[in-house]
Structure 1
C-alpha cells in the first residue's frame, strides 16, 4: 500500500479468515511454576496435561499467569503447538497495592517477560518469590506492562489482594479509569454492577472472570478448576490481538455467561460459478457482515445474487425502476448458465439453495437438504432485502410502505380466500350482467303487449269464440314447438396437454417412475374423455332426430287444423268480407301474444327470481371478501403494535385502511367514458363512496342513496347508471366491487424523546430513509440484507439510530450490508468484513475476517477513510473537538 495519499498500490492478497465469534477463555491459569502449587494435589506435572485439561474443559485459550514468574510459559506454548488451544504467556504480579495479571501475545518468549520483571525491579534471583512485592502500584505497573506490549488486568478485584480491597476509594476509581488498565477480573458476578456504578459512565471497562485454577471446596490451585470460571470473548481468534479488541468493546464482545446459540436463519455462504464473480466463495457471520470495496468491485452484485437465488428480488410491480436496474446489473454481471449456491442454517437445519441464471428466463430455485425446516408456506426462505435506492422507494407511498409489514407475515390464507371470493364474484357478475340484459330486453318486448291484446280483442269479435280459443292454443303451442330442435354440440373438456411434458426422460433419473405414472394418468383421462364424448355425440344425434320428428309431427297436425279452420272461414265468409286475410292476421297476433306471455312468464318465474338470488348470493360473497381483507388487516395491525413497542418511540406507524382509491377512479373513469360526466363528478363519487356501496346502489337502483352519501346531483348519478346499462358495461361495473383499496402505512418520526412526531411525507430524504431502516431493523429474525443503508443519511444519525440499534439487537438476527459507512463497520463492530477488488473482467475476494486483524484493519481504513493520510488529517483537524 502506498504510504501517502489516498490512492494505493496493488494490495497483497489478504488472508482469508473466518468471522469473529465467541471463544471461551481462562485468563488466570497457574502451573507448577507457581510456588503455591502443591505438586501432590495440583493434578499435573507436565505442560501437556494442563493443555489437555483446558481443551477437555471446552476452553479455546488460556493465559499462563504464575506468581512473579514466566518459568513455564515457553513449555506451555510448546505443549500446545499441535493443538487448537491458544496459550498466552504472562504472569501474576504482586504490586504494592495488590495482584495484577500481565498477559502478552502468544509466541512472546519468556525471556521478554522476565526482562519486564527486571525492569520492575524484581531481580532474576527473586523471580517466582510469592512474597516479593513491587514498589509500584496498579497504575504504574500497568503502564510498564502496556509499554512492553502486554495487557494489564487487576486480578480477583473483590477478594484478598484485589483492587477493590484498597482502603482509599478515590484510588480505586482512579485505577479503574486509567487507560493502562485493560480490564478488571472479578470472582462474583454481583460485582459487575458495583464496578459500573463506580465508573459512573466515565469509561466502559471490560469485566472478566477467570478460574485462578481453583475449584469449589479447594483451598489451593488445582488443575480440575481450570475453566471453572471463564469469559467468552468475540474475535476472529482468541489471541491477544482478538482479546484487546474484545475488551475495547465489551458490550458486544465480552460475555460472562455462555452466549446462546443463534436460532435465527443464517446465510452461511454464497458460491458463484460463472460471470463477474466466477469462482468466488463468501463466508458469513451469523451477526453483522459488511461488504467493502470500490465502485464496481461486486458488493451490490453479491447482494442481488443472494436475493436472486432465494427468489426474493425487488417487486417489479411496486418498484419497477429499481427492479429494472437490478435486472440490468444481473444481465451485465452474469453469463447465461451462471449458478449461485446459497447455504443457509437455522439451528441444526441446513439447506443449500441453487439457482441458475438465464437471460431469457432463469430456473426456479433448487432446494437441497432441510428445506422444509427453513421454508415457509410460500415455499421460499424468508429474508428482508433492500437493493440500492429501494429504501427511499418504500418511503414514498403509504401503500409501498405496507410491504415492510407484509414481509414478515404469512398472509397466504387471506390471499387464497380473497382470490376465491374475487373469482366467484366475477362469475356472479357475468351472471347478473346477463340477467340484467335479458330482463331489459324482455321488458322492452313486453311494452308491445297491450297493443297486441287490443288488436286481438278487435279481431276476435269477427270469429266464433270456440274457434278463437282453439286458434290461441295452437299459437301457444307453436311458440313451444318451433325452437325445440338444434341442441348444440356437447363435449366433455379437460386440460390433458400437461401429460405431454412427461413423455420426455426424467430430469432426475430416479424420478422416471413418477413421469411414467403421470403419463399413464393423463392417458386414462384422455381415453375417458374420448369415450364420454363419443357417447354424448350418439345420444345427441338421436335426440336431435327425435325432436325434428316431433316438431314435424306437430306441424302436420297444425296444418290439418289450419286447413279445417280455413274451410270453416270460407264457409262463413259467404258475403266475401275477407275473413281469410283477417284470420291470418289473427294467427300472427295470437302467436305474438303467446310469445309475449311466455316472455312474461320467464321474466316473472325465472329471470327476476334468478336475479334476486344472484344479487343476494353476491352480498354473501362480498361479505366473505370484506372479512378476508379485514382479517388480513387485523394481522397487520397486530404486527404494527408489536413494531411500535420495539421501536422505542423513535418511529410510530399506523394503519391507513383502504388508503388507495386510484384504481377505483381509474376503473370508474374508463367505464363512464362517453357519458359526458366530468372528471370532478367521478372523483367526488370515488372520494365519498366505496366500490362496494356504489355497485350495491346500482343493483338496487338506489339513486337517492348515492346522492345522499356523496353529495352528487341526482341527474349525474342517473346518467351514470343509465349509461352503464346502455353501454352494456354492467359486468365491468360490478367488477369494481372486487377492487382492493389497498391498506397503507402512516409513518411518523421524531428526533428526540421530547419532540413531536412528524409525518414521513414532511421529512427530508435522509430522515425518510432513517425511519424506514428503523422499521426494518426493529422486528423479525430473518436475514436483513441492504445495499448501502447509509445512502442519504446524516452521519450523526447513522450513529444515533442505526449503529445504536444494531448494537442493541446483536445476536438476534443476521445482517449483510454493502456499505461505505465507518459507523456501520467500526462503531457497530462487524463480526465479518469482506473486502472485494476487481479488474475489468472479474471481482475477487480481497480479504475476510474481523476488524482486529491487521490486514482487514488496513483495508477498512482504505475503503472507509481513504487511507491513513486523509484519516490522520481529519483526526488532527477535528481532534480538538474531542478534548
Structure 2
C-alpha cells in the first residue's frame, strides 16, 4: 500500500493524514498484514508500525523501487527500522535527497535489484507486473521469462487475476513462482491512490503469522499456501484439540489444525499414544475381531500409559457446530463417551463421530485380507438399516430352524413306529377269526378310544414368549439429546409388552390348571366305563370258551394289538394331517425368510458398489477396486466340518461340497432330500452326500445344519495397483509389501472427508513412493479434510507441508509437548530437522554428498 509519503498521493483526496487512520482502515478491512511500500521512500514505515503497535495488524516496512526496467517492491521483516531501508536505497543509488522522487530510476533492472534486496534480507516482488511499468510489459519476451526464473524474484504481483495463468505458462514448469494481488491503495474506478481502496485486492496466505517469515514460507509453496480469492470455509469435521488428564500425558493439551498435523518425537515420547487416545475417546478403536493382535497391543499401551480414571477430552468442530467428547479410562472398559454440545451436527446415525483411524501396523493388516479391506469401504457408509434387517431375518430363520428340526425329529420317530403297522395288522387279522365280528369291532372301538384317553392328561406348562430385551438398549442417555423423547417411548412400548406377556402368562397358568383337573376327571370317568365293558367282555368270553381253548388270553392279546393299532393309526393321522403339512408350510416360510435375507444383503452390496465407484473416480486410476461377492468360504467350511464331525467324510469331500455349493442351496437340497441334485452340482459322490444327510438326521444336528443358511459369506475387495498410467493393474496379492500398503493408503486418502488419523503411515513404504503417491495425493486433497499423522517421514512433514507440527519429548514417567507450530517458526524448524534428519550435521553431510544429483 501507499501512504501520503508517496509524491503521487494527493493528501486532499487520499482520505487520511494520520498513520493511525491508515491502521484503522486496514483493521476495518479485516486485513491481518499490510506492507508499506511508498515510491523510493520509507518515510512513513516507522510511524505506521508505531500506530499499529496496540493492534494485531502486522506492518511490514518496504519501498516500491523504480528500477531501470520497471517497478519492484522490496519488503522487510516487521520491526526493521526505516533507517535500514533508507541505507539500502542509498546503496542502490538513490541519494537521500532524492528519496521519495517517483521519477528517480535505478541503474539496475529487476533481477539485479532483487539480488541486492535479497542480500539485505528483503523480499523482492515485481509490482503490478501486468500494468504500466510492470515486468510483464517489457517487450522482450525471452528477457521477461529469464527474469521470472531468477530466484531473487520472490513473487509477481498482478492486477488482473487472469494473468496468473499466463505467468504459469511462461514458466513452463521450470519454476513454481507465487502470484499475488494487492490493492496498491486504489479503489475500483479511481485513477489515484485513495485510502478507501485498501484491501480492494488482497492475497490470502496460509501462515501461523503473516510476518515476513510467514510470507516467505507461503511464497515458497504457493500451490498450498497462496490464494487470490478467499478460500471457502471448511465444511469437514475437525478435531480442534485433545486434552489429557492422568497417566503418561497428564495435563497436556494438543491444539490441532484443520489441515495436516504431524506428531514428531523420539521413541516412547507419546506420539502413538496420542493417536490411540483420540481413537479411544471417540470409541473408534481397532476392531478386535478383525485384528486381535493389534487391538491387544493397543490395550496394553493404554493400560501402561493411563491410570484408572484418567480422562481424554476431544473438542470437535464442523462449521459453527462444536462438540466436546469426554471419556474416562478404566481397564474393564466400563465407560462410554460423553457428548456435550452440538451433537446433532457431528454425530451420525451410528451414534458416533466418524473418523478413519489406523494404529501402528494396521495399514499392513488391511493390505493382507480382502475381508479386512472391506472395512475401508464400510467406514464411510451407514449400514445400520441393513444390519437391523439382517439381524431380524437371522433371528426368525433360527426360530424357524428350531421348529423344522423339531418337526423332522417327530417325523423320524413316527416313521420308525409306523414300520410296525403292517405286522400289527397281520396279527390282528389272524386273531380276529377266533371271535365273532361284533365283539372284535366293539373291542377295536374301545382300543381306539384308549389310545386317545390314556395320554389325555398332563398338558405341559405353556407360556407366552416375546423379545422384550430390545428396550434395554434405550435405557442410557440419548446420543442425540433431542431424541430423548423417542428413547422414552421405546422403553414405554417394551414395558407395555412385558406387562402384557406377564398378565397373559398368569391367566394361562390359571386356565391350564383348571383344564388339567377337568381332563383328569374325564379320563377317570372313561376308565370306569372301559373297565365295565372289559368285565362284560370277559364274562362273554368265559361263556364261549367252554372247551378251555384259552380265548381269554387271546382276547388280551387282541386288546393289546388293537390298542397298538389304534395308536399307530393316530400316529399316521398326525403324520398326514399335521407333521408333514406343518413341515411343508415351515419350509415354504423359510424360503420367504431366506429371500428376505438375500435381498437385504444384495441391497447392502449395491450400497458398497456405489461407494466403490465413487472411490475409483477419486483415486485417479492409481488404484482400482472391485467387489468380490461372497468370496470368503472359510466360515462355511468350518461350520460344515463341525456339523459333519463323526461322519467319517474326508476333509477333501467337505471342501469340494463347500467350493461348489452355497449354504442356502445345500440346506434347501437337504430339506427336499435331493441327494442327486447336490451330487450333480458339486461333483461329490452320491454316497458321500447321502452319508452327510443321514449323519445330520441321525445325530440330531438339523438345527445347526439349517443355521448355515444364515452365514454371511463376507464380500471382499479386489484391490489393484499400477505404478504409472500406461502400466497394467496388478492385484494387491501380487504386490510387494510396501506397494500393498501404498495402495491401502491411497484408498484411505480418497475415502471421504472425516478426520484421517494414522500412526506412522510411512511404515514399509519406499521413500520415492511416499513422495510420488502419498505426498502428491495429500497436496491435491488439502483443505477438504483433516489429517493427523504420527510420523518420522520428512516427505510427509516437509514436502506435504504440515500446517501444524507437534513435537513431544519425555522422561521416564511423563511425556510433554515440546513445541507446536509450522516450519516457518525457527524453533519448530530446528526440532523438525533434529527429529526427521538427525540434526544439522548429518543433514549437511547428506546435502553435500547427494547435492550433485540436483544439477
Partner of residue 114, structure 1: 86
1:430-489 per-residue CA deviation (whole Å, 9 max, x = no partner) reads 111111111111111111111111111111122221222221111111111111212233
Q: Deviations over 1:34-70 (max 9, x none)?
A: 1111111111111111111111111111101111111
Q: Distance in 1 between matches of 2:591 and 2:469?
A: 38
Paired position in structure 2 for 1:634? 606
What displacement does 1:493 show? Answer: 6.8
Residues in 1 aligned to 2:494 and 2:704: alpha-carbon distance in whole angstroms:
37
* Shift of residue 84, structure 1, vs aligned partner: 1.4
Q: Are residues 1:882 and 2:850 paired?
A: no
Corresponding residue for 1:810?
782
Distance 1:170 1:230 in 2: 29
* Cα offset, 1:491, TM superposition: 5.0
1:721 is aligned to 693
Q: Which SS does the other structure have where 1:136 is aligned?
A: coil
Q: Measure the CA separation in 1 of the matches of 2:473 and 2:389.
A: 31
Post-superposition offset of 1:763? 1.2
Aligned to 2:772: 800
Q: Distance in 2 between matches of 1:35 and 1:478?
A: 128
Aligned to 1:229: 201
Q: Using a 3 Å threshold, how does the CA distance of structure 1 residues 770 and 433 change in structure 2: closer, same or farther?
A: same
Equivalent residue for 1:734? 706
Q: Sort the Cα spacing of 1:608 and 1:518 in 2 relative to 1 into closer, same or farther, 3 A.
A: closer
For the residue of structure 2 that corresponds to 1:270, the secondary structure is: strand
Change (3 A) 1:210 1:500: closer
Q: Does 1:75 align with 2:47?
A: yes
Query: 1:409 is matched with which residue: 381, 391, 394?
Result: 381
Partner of 2:558: 586
Closer, same or farther in 2 for the Cα pair 1:533/1:687, shift >3 Å?
A: closer
For residues 489 and 738 of structure 1, what CA distance do their matches in structure 2 show?
A: 31
1:833 corresponds to which of 799, 805, 819: 805
Deviation at 1:222, TM superposition (A): 0.6
Alpha-carbon distance in 2 for matches of 1:133, 1:281: 55
Report whether the alignment pairs 1:293 with 2:265: yes
C-alpha spacing 1:245/1:44, structure 2 compared with 1 (3 Å): same
| Residue in structure 1 matched with residue 749 of structure 2 by the alignment | 777
> How many Å apart are 1:499 and its aligned residue?
12
Between 1:795-804 and 1:366-375, the stretch displaced more is: 366-375
Q: Does the alignment pair 1:603 with 2:575?
A: yes
- Show the 5 A alignment for 1:195-206: 195-206=167-178
Residue 520 of structure 1: how far off its partner (Å): 11
Q: Pairwise mapping of residues 452-491 of structure 1 onto structure 2 (< 5 A)? A: 452-491=424-463
**C-alpha distance in structure 2 between counterparts of 1:198 and 1:714, whole Å:** 79
Rounded to whole Å, the distance in 2 between the matches of 1:781 and 1:500 is 34
| 2-structure distance, mates of 1:762, 1:529 | 59
Query: What is the match of residue 559 of structure 1?
Result: 531
1:554-609 CA distance string (max 9 Å, x none): 11111111111111111222222221111111111111111111100000010001
Residues 528 and 761 of structure 1: CA distance in aligned 2, closer, same or farther (over 3 Å): closer
In structure 2, relative to structure 1, the CA distance for the partners of 1:661 and 1:249 (3 Å cut) is same
Structure 1 counterpart of 2:479: none
- 1:4 is matched with none
Q: Residue 667 of structure 2 corresponds to which residue in structure 1?
A: 695
Instruction: State yes or no: 1:257 paired with 2:229.
Output: yes
SS at match of 1:202: coil
Distance 1:663 1:373 in 2: 39
Structure 1 distance, partners of 2:217, 2:819, is 19
CA distance in 1 between partners of 2:642 and 2:470 (Å)? 38
Which residue in the other structure is 2:716 paired with?
A: 744
Is the deviation greater in 129-138 or in 524-533? 524-533
How far 1:513 moved relative to its partner? 13
1:220 aligns with 2:192: yes
SS in 1 for 2:632: coil
Distance (Å, rounded) in 2 between the aligned partners of 1:499 and 1:169 = 78
What CA distance in whole angstroms lies between the structure 1 residues aligned with 2:490 and 2:686? Answer: 61
Match among 440, 450, 458 for residue 422 of structure 2: 450
SS at match of 1:327: helix
Q: Secondary structure at the match of 2:325?
A: strand
CA distance in 1, matches of 2:470, 2:383: 30
1:397 to 339, 346, 369: 369
Which whole-Å CA distance do the structure 2 matches of 1:365 and 1:356 have between them?
8
CA distance in 2: counterparts of 1:224 and 1:834, whole angstroms: 41
Q: 1 CA distance for matches of 2:607 and 2:289? A: 23
Matches within 5 A, 1:668-707: 668-707=640-679
Range with bigger deviation, 453-462 or 264-273: 453-462
Partner in structure 1 of residue 588 of structure 2: 616
In the alignment, the residues of structure 1 paired with residue 344 and residue 459 of structure 2 have an alpha-carbon distance, to the nearest angstrom, of: 53
Q: Closer, same or farther in 2 for the Cα pair 1:682/1:877, shift >3 Å?
A: same
Residue 324 in structure 1 maps to residue 285 in structure 2: no
Give how far 1:532 is off.
Answer: 5.5
Deviation larger for 538-547 or 565-574: 538-547
The answer to whether structure 1 residue 313 and structure 2 residue 285 are counterparts is yes
| Secondary structure of the corresponding residue to residue 182 of structure 1 | strand
Comparing 840-849 with 619-628, which one deviates more in the overlay? 619-628
Moved more, 333-342 or 559-568: 559-568
Q: Give the unaligned 5+ runs of structure 1.
A: 1-28, 505-511
CA distance in structure 2 between the aligned counterparts of 1:661 and 1:170, rounded to whole angstroms: 68
**Change over 3 Å in CA distance of 1:146–1:501 after alignment to 2:** closer
Report deviation, 1:842.
0.3
State how far apart, in whole Å, the 2-side matches of 1:762 and 1:91 are: 61
Q: Alpha-carbon deviations, 1:715-738, whole Å to 9, x = none?
A: 111111111111111111111111
- Offset at residue 399 of structure 1 (A): 1.0
State the secondary structure of the residue aligned to 2:273.
helix
Partner of residue 341, structure 1 = 313
In structure 2, what is the Cα distance between the partners aligned to 1:514 and 1:771? 43
Task: Provide the secondary structure at the position in 1 that maps to 2:627.
Answer: strand
1:145 aligns with 2:132: no
- Give 1:362 shift: 3.6
- Decide which of 185, 188, 203 is 2:160's aligned counterpart: 188
CA gap 1:723/1:324 in 2 versus in 1, 3 angstroms: same
Give the whole-Å Cα distance in 2 for the aligned partners of 1:652 and 1:804. Answer: 18
State the SS of the aligned residue for 2:296.
helix
Q: Which residue of 2 aligns with 1:36?
A: 8
1:385 to 339, 342, 357: 357
The alignment partner of 2:206 has SS state of strand
Equivalent pairs, count: 851
| Structure-2 change in CA distance of 1:641 and 1:882 (3 Å) | same
- The alpha carbon displacement at 1:539 in A equals 3.1
Match in the other structure for 1:165: 137
Give, in angstroms, the shift of residue 518 of structure 1: 12
Inter-partner Cα distance in structure 1 for 2:802 and 2:475 = 53
Aligned twin of 2:104: 132
Secondary structure at the aligned position of 1:161 is classed as: coil
Instruction: State how far apart, in whole Å, the 2-side matches of 1:526 and 1:603 are.
Output: 36
- Specify whether residues 525 and 453 from structure 1 end up closer, same or farther in structure 2 by C-alpha distance, changes over 3 A only: closer
Give the whole-Å Cα distance in 1 for the aligned partners of 2:487 and 2:808.
Answer: 45
Residue 173 of structure 1: SS of its match in structure 2?
Answer: helix
Structure 1 residue 298: Cα displacement: 0.2
Equivalent residue in structure 2 for 1:283, among 240, 255, 260: 255
Aligned equivalents of 2:81, 2:440: Cα separation in 1: 132
Secondary structure of 1:41's partner?
Answer: helix
Shift of 1:703: 1.0
- Give TM-score scaled by structure 2 length: 0.96
CA–CA separation in structure 1 for the residues paired with 2:617 and 2:31: 39
Gaps of 5+ in 2: 477-483
User: CA offsets per residue over residues 267-294 of structure 1, 9 Å max, x none?
Assistant: 1100000000000000111110000000
Alpha-carbon deviation of 1:793?
0.6
Q: 1:515 to 1:126 in 2, by over 3 A?
A: closer
Question: How is 1:535-546 mapped onto 2 (pairs within 5 angstroms)?
Answer: 535-546=507-518
The 3-state SS of whatever aligns with 1:355 is strand
